[in-house]
Structure 1
Amino acid sequence: MVSACAYSGAYPTGYGRYGKNTEGVPEEMFDRLQASGFTHFQQSGTGAIRKYYNYIRVTPMVQQLDVLGESWPLRDEVAQPGYYAATLDTGVRCEITVGEKVAVHRYTFPEHSNARVVIDLSCGGLGIELGRTVPLRAHAESLGGGRAQGTVVMEGVPLSVAMELSSPKWRQMLWYDRRLIDGGTRLDFDSIRHTTLRPFGMLFIGPTSAGQTVEIRLGFSLRGCEQARRNLEDECGTNGHAFDTVRSATRARWREHLGRVQVDGGTPARRTVFATALYHSLIKPCFADDESPFWPNSGPFAFDVCTMWDIYKTQLPLLTALAPDRARDLLESLIRVCEEEGNFPIGYRMARGADRFFRQASALAHTVLADVHGLALPGLDLDWNWALVHMVDDLRRMYGEDFWEHGVVHPISHTLDLAYAHYCTAQVARALNDVHLADDLERRSRQWTNAFDPGTGLLRDSEFYEGGKWNYSFRLLHDMAGRIALGGGDDAFVANLDRFFGYGADPVVQPGRRPQPPEMAAGYALQRFEGLNNEPDMEAPWAYHYAGRPDRTAEIVHSALTWQFGTGPGGLPGNDDSGGLSSWYVWASLGLFPVAGQNLFLINAPAFARGSLKVSGGEFVVETSGHRGAPIGADGVEFDPPAQYVQSATLNGEPLDATHISAADVHRGGRLHLQLGPEPSAWGRRVRPPSASMLESR
Structure 2
Amino acid sequence: MAPCKRSSWISPQLCLLLVHLVLPFAVAGADVLQFIDPLIGSTNGGNVFAGATRPYALAKPVADVDGQNTGGFATDGSNIVGFSAVHDSGTGGNPSLGNFPLFPKLCPGDEVSNCKFLIADRATPYVTDSVVSRPGYFGVDMASGVKVSMTSSEHAALFRFEFPDGEGEHPMVLLDLTDLWKSRQNASISVDADGARMKGNGTFLPSFGAGSYVMHFCVDFFGGQVFDGGVWVNNRGGTEPKDLFVTRGFNLFYLEAGGWARFEGLSNNTLTARMGISFISADQACQSATTEIPDPSNDFDRLVAETEDAWREKLSPMSINPGGASEELQSSFWSGLYRSMISPQNYTGENPHWDSGIPYFDSFYCLWDAFRVQHPILTIVDPNAQVQMINSLLDIFEHEGWLPDCHMSLCNGWTQGGSNADVVIVDAYVKNLTGIDWDLALKAVVQDAEVEPLEWAYHGRGGLESWKDLSYIPYLDFDPAGFGTNSRSISRTLEYAYDDYCLGVLAQGLGHDDLYDKYATRSTNWQHLWRAQQTSLINGSDTGFEGFFQPKYQNGTWGFQDPIACSSLADFCSLTTNPSETFEASVWQYQFLVPQSMSTLIVLMGSEESFIERLDFFHTSGLADISNEPVFSTVYLYHYAGRPGLSAKRLHTYIPSAFNASHGGLPGNDDSGSMGAFVVFGMLGLFPMAGQDVYLISAPFFAEVNITSPLTGKTAQIKTTGFDAGYENIFIQNVTVNGQPWTKSWIGHSLFTEGWTMELVLGNQESEWGTKVEDRPPSWGGANVVV
In which range does the TM-score fall when normalised by the shorter chain? 0.7 to 0.9
Task: Report what 1:414 is aligned to.
Answer: 492
Cα deviation 1:385-421 (Å, max 9, x = unaligned): 1121111111243335132232111521111111111
492, 501, 504: which is aligned to 2:610? 492
Inter-partner Cα distance in structure 2 for 1:145 and 1:210: 18
Q: What does residue range 88-487 of structure 1 map to in structure 2 within 5 Å? A: 88-112=142-166, 113-126=168-181, 132-142=182-192, 144=194, 146-155=196-205, 156-167=212-223, 169-171=225-227, 173-177=229-233, 178-189=235-246, 192=249, 195-208=252-265, 211-237=268-294, 240-265=297-322, 266-350=325-409, 352-354=411-413, 356=414, 358=415, 360-377=416-433, 380-396=434-450, 397=452, 398-401=461-464, 402-409=466-473, 410-455=488-533, 456-461=546-551, 462=561, 463-487=581-605
User: Displacement, 1:675?
Assistant: 0.4
Give the letter for the 2:446 counterpart: V
Q: Which amino acid aligns with 1:95?
A: S
Asked whether the equivalents of residues 146 and 167 of structure 1 are also in contact (C-alpha less than 8 Å), the reply is no
Q: Distance in 2 between matches of 1:328 and 1:695?
A: 35
Deviation at 1:17, TM superposition (A): 6.5
Question: Match of 1:407, as an amino acid?
Answer: S
Give the whole-Å Cα distance in 2 for the aligned partners of 1:9 and 1:303. Answer: 26
For residues 238 and 156 of structure 2, the distance between their equivalents in structure 1, rounded to whole angstroms, comes to 28
**Cα distance between partner residues in 1 of 2:148 and 2:703:** 41
> What CA distance in whole angstroms lies between the structure 1 residues aligned with 2:549 and 2:746?
26
Find the aligned partners of 1:583 and 1:487 in 2 and give their Cα distance.
Answer: 30
Structure 2 counterpart of 1:44, from 73, 84, 89:
89
Q: CA deviation at 1:620?
A: 1.7
Which secondary structure does the structure 2 equivalent of 1:123 belong to? coil
Kindly provide the amino acid, as one letter, of the partner of residue 459 in structure 1: F
Question: 2 CA distance for matches of 1:191 and 1:501?
Answer: 48
C-alpha distance in 2, partners of 1:343/1:280? 28
Give the residue type in structure 1 aligned to 2:310: R
Aligned residues of 1:215 and 1:241 also touching (Cα < 8 A): no
The 1-side partners of 2:302 and 2:74 are apart by: 32
User: Which stretch shows the higher mean deviation, 683-692 or 63-72?
Assistant: 63-72
Structure 2 unpaired stretches of 5+? 1-57, 206-211, 453-460, 474-487, 534-545, 552-560, 562-580
In 2, are the aligned partners of 1:599 and 1:664 still within 8 Å (CA)?
A: no
Corresponding residue SS for 1:562: coil
The match for 1:73 among 117, 125, 143 is 125
Q: Name the SS for the 2:656 alignment partner.
A: helix
The one-letter code matched in structure 2 to 1:6 is A
Match of 1:58, as an amino acid?
L
Deviation at 1:472, TM superposition (A): 1.1
Q: Alpha-carbon deviation of 1:586? A: 0.3
**Contact between 1:109 and 1:115, CA under 8 Å: does it hold in 2?**
no
Once the two structures are TM-superposed, the CA of residue 148 in structure 1 deviates from its matched residue by 2.6
Closer, same or farther: CA 688–290 of 1 in aligned 2, 3 Å? same
Contact preservation (8 Å) 2:218, 2:275: yes
Asked if the contact 2:188–2:245 (Cα under 8 Å) also holds between the matched residues in 1, the reply is: yes
| CA offsets 1:5-24 (integer angstroms, 9 cap, x no match) | 11122234264579xxxxxx
User: What amino acid does structure 2 have at the position aligned with 1:73?
Assistant: P
Alignment of 1:632-643 (within 5 A): 641-642=727-728
- Taking structure 1 as the reference length, the TM-score comes to 0.86
Q: CA deviation at 1:470?
A: 1.0
Per the TM alignment, residue 298 of structure 1 is displaced from its structure 2 partner at its CA by 3.8
Q: Is the 8 A contact 2:177 2:187 kept in 1?
A: no
Cα gap change, 1:395/1:454 in structure 2, threshold over 3 Å: closer, same or farther?
Answer: same
Distance 1:193 1:241 in 2: 46
Deviation at 1:692, TM superposition (A): 1.5
Using the alignment, how far apart are the partners of 2:740 and 2:228 within structure 1?
71
Is residue 58–residue 117 contact of structure 1 (8 Å, CA) maintained in 2?
Answer: no
Q: Identify the residue that residue 129 of structure 1 maps to in structure 2.
A: none
State the Cα distance separating 1:121 from its structure 2 match.
3.8
Q: How does 1:552-631 map to 2 (within 5 A)?
A: 552-615=646-709, 616-617=711-712, 618-630=714-726
Higher deviation after alignment, 336-345 or 665-674:
336-345
Aligned residue number for residue 507 of structure 1: none
Q: CA deviation at 1:110?
A: 2.4
Q: Is 1:146–1:168's contact at 8 Å kept on the other side of the alignment? A: no
What is the SS of the residue equivalent to 1:251? helix
Tell me if structure 2 keeps the 8 A contact 1:8–1:36. Answer: yes
> CA 1:191–1:408 in 2, change beyond 3 Å: closer, same or farther?
same
Distance 1:573 1:527, change over 3 A: closer
Shift of 1:694: 4.3
Aligned-pair CA distance for 1:184: 3.3
Query: C-alpha distance in 2, partners of 1:138/1:192?
Result: 14
- Asked if 2 retains the 8 angstrom alpha-carbon contact of 1:176 and 1:198, the reply is no
**Equivalence for 2:780:** 692
CA-CA distance at 1:449 after TM superposition: 1.8
Task: Report if aligned partners of 2:224, 2:263 keep a CA contact under 8 Å in 1.
Answer: no
Deviation at 1:294, TM superposition (A): 2.8
Instruction: Give the SS at the match of 1:37.
Output: strand
Contact 1:420 1:477 in 2 (8 A): yes
Q: 1:606 to 1:56 in 2, by over 3 A?
A: same
Aligned letter for 1:160?
H
Shift of residue 244, structure 1, vs aligned partner? 2.0
- Which SS does the other structure have where 2:673 is aligned? helix
Query: Following TM superposition, by how much is the alpha carbon of 1:548 offset from its aligned partner in structure 2, in angstroms?
Result: 0.2
CA contact (8 A) 1:101 1:232 kept: yes
Alignment-derived partner of residue 35 in structure 1? 80
Q: What's the offset of the Cα at 1:86?
A: 0.7
Cα distance in 2 between the residues matched to 1:497 and 1:695: 19
Supply the distance in 2 between the matched residues of 1:629 and 1:239 (Cα, whole angstroms): 47
Conserved 8 A contact 2:101-2:178: yes
Q: Is the 8 A contact 2:151 2:300 kept in 1?
A: yes
Distance in 2 of aligned mates of 1:570 and 1:342: 41
Q: For 1:209 and 1:147, how far apart are their aligned partners in 2?
A: 17
Cα deviation, 1:103-143, whole Å, max 9, x if unaligned, reads 110112223434334242422124xxxxx212334343427
Percent of residue pairs bearing the same amino acid type: 26
Mapped partners of 1:619, 1:171: distance in 2: 59
Work out whether residues 147 and 165 of structure 1, in 8 Å CA contact, stay in contact via their aligned partners in 2: yes
Q: 2:607 aligned with 1:528, yes or no?
A: no
Q: In the alignment, what sits opposite 1:56?
A: 100
Change (3 A) 1:499 1:14: closer
Given that 1:291 and 1:298 are in contact with CA atoms closer than 8 Å, whether structure 2 keeps it comes out as no
The Cα shift of 1:488 comes to 2.1
Of residues 473-482 and 86-95 in structure 1, the stretch that sits farther from structure 2 once superposed is 473-482
1:221 CA displacement: 0.8
- Classify the secondary structure of the residue corresponding to 2:758: strand
**Equivalent residue of 2:680, what SS?**
helix
**Deviation (angstroms), 1:653:** 1.5
Question: SS state of the match for residue 231, structure 1?
Answer: helix
Instruction: Give the drift of 1:648.
Output: 0.3
CA distance in 2, matches of 1:123, 1:388: 41
TM-score, structure 2 length as denominator?
0.77
